[in-house]
Amino acid sequence: MSDKIISDDGEFHTEDEAVDFSHVTAEAWLVLGLFWILGLTVLYQFITRYVFNDSAAWTEEIGRYELIAVVFIGAAIGVAKNNHIQVDFFYRHLPAAVGRALSGFVDLLRVAFFATAVVLTVQMMLKLGNQTRMTIVDLPMNLVYATCLFGFFIMLLRSLQVAYIHYRRGYSMLERPESHMHDR
């Protein structure tokens, strides 16, 4: 196919590229499903409130917890792609060895943060037990905290993966912001 979109006879010509989902992580598919469930819950809430004028009370509480699950598990996507907020300004002005050491420290600090979050979430869940219940739906609040724990655990695993990639490659995105995680 030529590089022209509009041919000499004035017709529009284009060709679709092949769709490649190989880079999509498992947690991204899970979050997509959770997002659809959240959307259906909110739609049900909207219909019962504004169409039938008889709001389903459980939808607001469950929707809130579904949003929590989307956020915590979805944050693992950002960790896997290594595209959370970062400041790479100083790395351009530091000597390469100092930048490399500092970048490794950032990777270790990220792993330590998520490991700490996992431990603290488990401790909180153990203290709460199943005594604390949801307000409207009679289920233990530990179900909500379990989704947070799952999200933190996936973030911990992905941060270990990112640290390993940085170690193996010999540089991180902090040192070379033009690089991408898929350049392994």
Tell me, yes or no, whether 44 lies in a domain. yes
The total domain count for the chain is 1
User: What are 78's two structure tokens?
Assistant: 């950002």
For the segment 156-165, what is each residue's pLDDT rounded down to a tens digit?
Answer: 999 999 999 9
Tell me, yes or no, whether 183 lies in a domain. no
Question: What is the rounded CA–CA span in Å between residue 65 and residue 76?
Answer: 17
Q: Is the pLDDT of residue 181 over 70?
A: no
- Between CA 15 and CA 20, with CA 19 as vertex, the angle to 5 degrees is 145
Residue 95's domain spans which residues?
Answer: 26-169
159's CB contacts (< 8 A; 6+ apart) are 79, 107, 110, 111, 114
Tell me, yes or no, whether 1 lies in a domain. no
For the segment 10-45, what is each residue's pLDDT rounded down to a tens digit?
Answer: 777 777 788 888 888 899 999 999 999 999 999 999
Asked if 70 contacts 34 with a C-beta cutoff of 8 angstroms, the reply is yes
